[in-house]
Structure 1
Amino acid sequence: MTDIVILTHIDYCHPGHLARVLDEAQLDFSVLRVDLGELDGLDLDRPKAVAIMGGPMSVNDPLPWLQTEVAALQHFIRRDIPMIGHCLGGQLLAKALGAQIHKMPYTESGWQTLERTPAAAQSPWLSHLPEQFDIFQWHGDTFMLPDGAQPLLRNPWCENQAFAWGDKILALQGHPEMTEELVRQWLGDWSHLLDPSEPSQQSLDTMLSNLQQRVRDLNRTAEGFYRHWLAMMAA
């Protein structure tokens, strides 16, 4: 087992660009499928940094492995190690910190613009970003803010898009890890679940328009998050 652990929950929500960043930095990492029981038996005192990826399930689903994962995250919180959560991963961090997760009245999907909250002015997690930027979204649940959290990002569809907790935890509602291949895979397999007549959802054509440039911009956004996460590991 390596010092960097990535928790995943289904085959098509893999680390994406995060894996590229770690490979380019020549950092070893382990990817575990929590839904397949691969978190069982992990020495929870070993990891020095943890990333939690997305998935189609809800944090509130009655799945025993979700309870196992939340308990593991609470152990990592007590150890004060750097963690970054993506979509479901951000919701799992919120739950581990005692916050509620609830279903929204609509799905938010596509390239959505986020803006900083007033509380985010000095956040090191956002030091590489402008006041507004786009991120890829696909979620129907959202998290409330845990006690002591610093709200970082918001937009009209989802008031709580990101929060920091302490110095080393970042929970994101969006998907900064997306690659061009992953966007095309999701849209090829799951676009029938979307309803572009809803204002919170984009059409397939809109999501694929200028995709290469959109992903390049998203990669830069992700890299800033990941650099700070890794810097916290070394601190």
Structure 2
Amino acid sequence: MKIHFVVHESFEAPGAYEIWVKARGHQASYSRVHEHEPLPQSIDDIDLLVVMGGPQSPSTTREECPHFDSKAEQALIARCAAAGKAVIGVCLGAQLMGEALGARCEHSPEKEIGKFPITLTAKGKANDKFAHFGDTLEVGHWHSDMPGLTERATIIAYSEGCPRQIIEYGDLVYGFQCHMEFTPEVIELLIAASEPELATLTAHRFVQQPEALRANDYGDMNQKLFGFLDELMRAYAGGR
């Protein structure tokens, strides 16, 4: 399988997604837009598109962030979804996904940074791709916004601080507001980029400080992510 990553910033790295790609023998390609690498012109060689997170929002303009073209990324997501490709949006990527499919990004009720539980909905538990998640699962978070909901969207999981953690927009199209790809290495990159800001957020009930972020075990959620990705690609292969 050919996996294409859109990466907005060096500190919003694919993490466990790359580990899965290598472990399964898939091929990875990249649009590191923070290094001014272009988005793919053709989607023919993409089986799975993964759009990563970033400090931007879908409304961020080229004037505000010259390396980020929200409309172009939304168009790429929409093209892949319409062509029957598998598509995953993570955090900002999930918000772009919602916008690409006609749903406006919104502010989350709570800022969440750290590792906190999500709860699967009844429809989430009935979805074969998430059957191994159990009723609840502790996962990574780093956000203050959340994706919009289209008419056909299904909420797979929510948290106490955010009602939209995993959203199914289509059989092969999923938005993850949460960060199941976090690894210790990715956490260090995020801390380095955000430590001054974290020090101002001690009053938030769902924000962990660097020592707690470093102490979290991210291995179990990575394995659960791998299981989801395996099921997603099986579904994709079965529909080709």
TM-score (norm 1): 0.91
Partner of 2:213: 207
Q: Contact 1:98/1:146 (CA < 8 Å) preserved in 2?
A: yes
Partner of 1:77: 81
Over the matched positions of the two proteins, sequence identity in percent amounts to: 23
1:89-109 Cα shifts (integer Å, max 9, x gaps): 111111111111023364211
Equivalents in 2 of 1:231, 1:39: separation in Å? 29
In structure 2, relative to structure 1, the CA distance for the partners of 1:41 and 1:84 (3 Å cut) is: closer
In structure 2, relative to structure 1, the CA distance for the partners of 1:160 and 1:41 (3 Å cut) is: closer
Is structure 2 residue 66 aligned with structure 1 residue 65? no
Partner of 2:114: 110
Is structure 2 residue 162 aligned with structure 1 residue 158? yes
Partner of 1:33: 32
SS at 1:55 equivalent: coil
| Shift in Å, 1:206 | 2.4
Equivalents in 1 of 2:174, 2:40: separation in Å? 26
Is structure 2 residue 220 aligned with structure 1 residue 217? yes
SS at 2:88 equivalent: strand
Is structure 2 residue 15 aligned with structure 1 residue 16? yes
SS at 1:137 equivalent: strand
SS at 1:67 equivalent: helix
Q: CA RMSD in A?
A: 1.8
Equivalents in 2 of 1:206, 1:4: separation in Å? 32
Instruction: Extract unaligned runs of 5+ from structure 2.
Output: 63-67
Equivalents in 2 of 1:182, 1:167: separation in Å? 29
Q: Contact 1:83/1:229 (CA < 8 Å) preserved in 2?
A: no
| Shift in Å, 1:33 | 1.7
Equivalents in 2 of 1:160, 1:136: separation in Å? 14
SS at 2:116 equivalent: strand
Instruction: Extract unaligned runs of 5+ from structure 1.
Output: none
Q: Look up the equivalent residue of 1:168 and give its one-letter code.
A: L
